[in-house]
Each structure stands twice: as C-alpha cells, then as structure tokens.
Amino acid sequence: MIFEWQAADRTSLLALFILMEVFSHWLWCFFVWCRQDTYGAYVDMTLLYFLWIGVTLMGAFSFWMSGRFSPIKKDNGSLHKWQAILVALYSTYIALVILVMGHSSLVSGISLVGGAMLAMMLIRRRYVWRAFLGHAAVILAVTLIPYFGVALPNLRQITITSFPLNTNNYLAYNEMKAIESAISASALKNGLLSWDSLSQLRFSSAFFWRSTHIYMALPKALFIVYIFRALLAILDDSKKEILQHANQDELTQLKSRRYGLTQMKQALATIKDWQDFSVILLDLDLFKEINDNYGHEVGDRVLVEVAQTLSQSLTDETIISRYGGEEFLIVLTDTSHDSAMLIAEQLRLSIAKRVIAVNDNLSFNVTTSLGVYTLTYDERTCIRKAHKKSVQKDDESQFAKPQTFRSRSSKRGNRPLSTAAQLPHDICQRLISMADKALYEAKSCGRNHVVSANEMSAEGNGIESLYGTQL
Ligand SMILES: Nc1nc2c(ncn2[C@@H]2O[C@H](COP(=O)(O)OP(=O)(O)OP(=O)(O)O)[C@@H](O)[C@H]2O)c(=O)[nH]1
C-alpha cells in the first residue's frame, strides 16, 4: 500500500494523539481530586480546579478537531488554518501544563522533541518548526522568570524538604522558596526542626511528583517512538512499492524502459576493455492486426507471453526491458556479435514456435523482427577519440569567445560526460538507434528476420557508423 493519506487524515490523527494525551492529564486531575485527602498536602487544590477546567476544554477541542479535518479535505486554505491553530494551541497547552505542574526536564524534553518529531511527520513542517521554537522559548522563560522575582502559578505545594540538600535533588525556584518559608515557619513555631518529619515530607512529596512526571512523560515517549517506527515502516514499504512501480512494467513484469536504460548505462560504465557489448531491439510483427482482430486483451496476453519467452530464454544477467508498446530492449553485456546474432535468432524461433492459446477455438503464433548491434572494443576506442576531439574543439571555440559570454555550464567540470569516461553521455541512445535501424531493415525485408546493424554499417548499407561518420 502506498502511503497516500491526505494531509487532512494525518492532521486528524495528530488531533487524536493530542486528545489521548489530554485525556491522560484529565485522569491525573481526577485521581488527585479523588485522593485529595492524601495528596492535598502536595497539590494546590484551587489551582488544580483551574487546570482541570483547562484540560477538559482542551480535550473537548481536540475531540472536535479530530473530526473536523475530514470535511475540509479539499479546502487547502481552511486546512492550513486549522492545522496552524491545532499546533499553536497544543504548544501553548503543553507549555502551560509544564509551567503549572512543575517543569521536569523529562516532561519538557519529551514534549518538545517527541511532539515536534511526530507532528513533523504528520503535518506541514513549517508550522511545527515555528511552534517548536515558540515552545522552547516558553520553557526557557518559565525556567528563568522566577529568578527575576516574578511568581508563576505552580501546582506543587512543597512545604518542606531535607536539609542539608541532597545534591542529586534538583530544586526549582519555587521549591527553594517553599523550603525557606517552611524552615522559617517551623523555626518560628517550634523553635527547632525535626529531621524525621523533614525526611518524611520530602520523600512522600518527591515520590508523588516524580511519579507524576514519569506518568506524563514515559507513556508518551513510548507511544511516540512506536508511532514513529510504524510510520517509518509504512514509508519504507511505500518507497519499495513506488520504486517497483517505476522500475517494473506492470503488464509484462519486465523492467521498465527507464530502469532498463539506467541498467544499460551502468553496465556500459563497468565494461572491461576486452568485452563486447550487444543490444537487441525486438518488435512484434503486425501487432496492430492482433489487436484489431482479437481485441486489446488478447494483444496484452501476447505481450505477456512474449515477455515470458524472453525471460525463460535469457540469463539473469541479461537486461530485458519493455522499451515501447510492442518493442523490447535486450542488453547483452560481455557478448560478442556472433553470439548476439545467435541469441537473437534463437529468440525469434522460440517466439515463432510458441502457440498463443486464447481459448479452445482460438490459438495462433506471432513473429518478431530483431535488430542487433554490437559495440566492440575497437569501436569504443574510436568513439572515445572522436568524442575527445569534439570536446576539445568545443572548448577551444568557447575560449575564443569573450569572457563575459562564457556560461558557467560550459566549464569543463560541467560537461556531460558519461560515467564510462570519454564516452558521450548519449551513448545508450546511439546504440539503440543503431539497433533500431537494423530492426527497420528487418521489417522492410518481410519481417520475422534478424538483421545486424554492424554488418549493415560495414557494407555501407544505408547507415552511418555510431559516431556519425564511417569508422
Ligand atoms: N494490446 C496492446 N496493444 C498495444 C500496447 N502498446 C501498444 N499497442 C499497440 O501496438 C500496435 C503497434 O502497431 P504498429 O506500430 O502499427 O506496429 P505493427 O502493427 O506491429 O506493425 P509492424 O511493427 O510494422 O510489424 C498499436 O496498435 C498499439 O495500439 C499494449 O500495451 N497492449
């Protein structure tokens, strides 16, 4: 399955994630409210009610949002507006929750990085990037503002903590203030401090808030990583499928024209000096008549059967692609001209012999015409020399021009040279064009023939050499 959710579907999914997170906050508020007798000592209950109302409103809004995107799938302007609102609102909400619940580095880090990662995968990255920066700025502000004497609302009600301070125990500004007040209150009231009561309070409070932060952060982190992994797996599968679509011809299951040419280029780039390189262009004879007489479906069936014959007759190293409608390109790396002619003749016979049985009453044979061209080492040397000369000539004429008219792309570094170094970049097209000329000749002399472009060229029989002149 290709990953083709529309932007609206992905935004709905993000709204759903937000809804789930907000619901977990709602449950926390509910839990603390139910156990206020125990936790009332560590939580500012008045602020909790405000937080609870805010969480409920955000939950209702995300619920409404998750269903809102489907109807506006087609309206891009509206979709972008709502995406931006969702991201802005969520960032503000999370920043406020972190501020009010006490900003643990665990919660802040996971909200900041995990949320942004997930959102970037699901919706437009521009909004998320801005929200991420805004979010980071708010967290920075929340952390620093209390040091400038501004009191920010905080749910954490820490009445007292251990003394001397445990160095592993990070204390926020508010907590430091709470300790100071507690110490002075206790000192004023009792005249002395009890270490036991201090430790007890510290442990119970710290445990409650640590648990709260773990509850807020870890499930979210696991969930985000899991979804991220699932999305990456979907993307990998989609990529494979897209590549398969691009590289494979759907009807015949052979390589597509584009992929066949790419592989031909690569094969040519790695060819050894002593190896010959042959191409065969094969075309079905009078294929139009098959379509006209028996219909397109039968025509398709013929193409599939011819493709099967090719695959069965040739080795795995041979590059076989569907070059056009009823035309196939066969690239035989490291194959001499004689062998290529022999292979072409065998293919012609195999296809001609294959009976295409459409049904009990209809069966027939098809024939093919083939053009063969072999690029030998000698020819490659000539092509390289001729190409080098032409490049030098071009360079000289470029240098002869005034400097101001010389374009950047005419510099030697940008010249389109093939990977096979010194072969012209359109060498594959030239080889195919030679084979095509031989194929045309095969059609002209009555079809169901194999013709060699090399022989035609050697005889000076109507075609020029590969490089435009007789070699
Ligand atoms: N069924 C089917 N027909 C196709 C496909 N692709 C191309 N064709 C048909 O192939 C036919 C090619 O016809 P022509 O180019 O006239 O060639 P021809 O009839 O084979 O004649 P010659 O090549 O001269 O022997 C056209 O009728 C196209 O419609 C395909 O995928 N399926």
Let me know whether 419 and 440 are in one domain: yes
Domain boundary among 246, 280, 295: 246
Let me know whether 128 and 274 are in one domain: no
What pTM, to 2 d.p., does this model score?
0.61
Residue 469 lies inside a defined structural domain of this protein: no
| Nearest-10 Cα torsion for 261, 263, 266, 267 | -100
Angle between helices 257-269 and 427-444 (to 10 degrees): 120
Residue 251 lies inside a defined structural domain of this protein: no
How many residues would you count in the chain?
A: 471
Residue 252 lies inside a defined structural domain of this protein: no
Q: Give the Å distance between the CA of 443 and the centre of ligand 1.
A: 14
Please compute the mean of the pLDDT values over residues 28-38 and round it to a whole number. Answer: 91
Residue 136 lies inside a defined structural domain of this protein: yes
Let me know whether 452 and 365 are in one domain: yes
Residue 248's pLDDT band, with cuts at 50, 70 and 90, is very high
Angle between helices 76-101 and 7-34 (to 10 degrees): 20
Let me know whether 448 and 353 are in one domain: yes
Do the Cβ atoms of 309 and 397 come closer than 8 Å? no
Which tokens in the block code for residue 214?
A: 């773990």
Instruction: Report the mean per-residue pLDDT for the chain.
Output: 81
* Dist CA 104 CA 98 (whole Å): 8
Q: Which domain holds residue 329?
A: 257-458
Let me know whether 37 and 150 are in one domain: yes
Amino acid at 160: I
The pLDDT of residue 295 is 93
The pLDDT of residue 2 is 46
The pLDDT of residue 179 is 64
Do the Cβ atoms of 307 and 322 come closer than 8 Å? yes
Let me know whether 261 and 213 are in one domain: no
Closest C-alpha to ligand 1, atom 6? 325
Neighbours of 190 (CB within 10 A): 10
Does position 449 have pLDDT exceeding 60, yes or no?
yes
The answer to whether the peptide bond before residue 424 is cis (omega within 30 degrees of 0) is no
Number of alpha carbons in the 13 Å side-chain half-sphere of residue 186? 15
> What spatial distance separates the first Cα and last Cα of the chain, rounded to whole Å?
52
Amino acid at 381: T
Ligand 1 pocket test target in 257, 287, 306, 436 with most atoms within 8 Å of CB: 287
Closest C-alpha among 337, 367, 362 to residue 351: 367
Closest C-alpha among 30, 16, 47 to residue 215: 30
Please compute the mean of the pLDDT values over residues 64-92 and round it to a whole number. Answer: 79
Say which CATH number the domain at 355 has. 3.30.70.270
* Dist CA 307 CA 256 (whole Å): 12
* Residue 443 CB less than 6 A away from ligand 1: yes
The position carrying tokens 């206790």 is 186
Distance of CA 431 to the CA centre of its chain: 35
Ligand 1 pocket test target in 326, 367, 441, 447 with most atoms within 8 Å of CB: 326
Domain boundary among 246, 265, 294: 246
Q: Give the Å distance between the CA of 251 and the centre of ligand 1.
A: 14
Do the Cβ atoms of 338 and 418 come closer than 8 Å? no
* Residue 287 CB less than 6 A away from ligand 1: yes
The pLDDT of residue 17 is 87
Residue 182 lies inside a defined structural domain of this protein: yes
Distance of CA 173 to the CA centre of its chain: 45
* Dist CA 339 CA 278 (whole Å): 9
The pLDDT of residue 414 is 45
206 vs 107: which has the higher pLDDT: 107
Residue pLDDT, tens place only, 141-169: 877 887 887 877 878 765 444 444 444 44
Do the Cβ atoms of 18 and 82 come closer than 8 Å? no
The position carrying tokens 């280029």 is 265
Residue 466 lies inside a defined structural domain of this protein: no
326 vs 122: which has the higher pLDDT: 326
Closest C-alpha to ligand 1, atom 29? 288
Let me know whether 48 and 153 are in one domain: yes
Burial of 88 (0-12, 13-18, 19+ CB in 10 A): middle
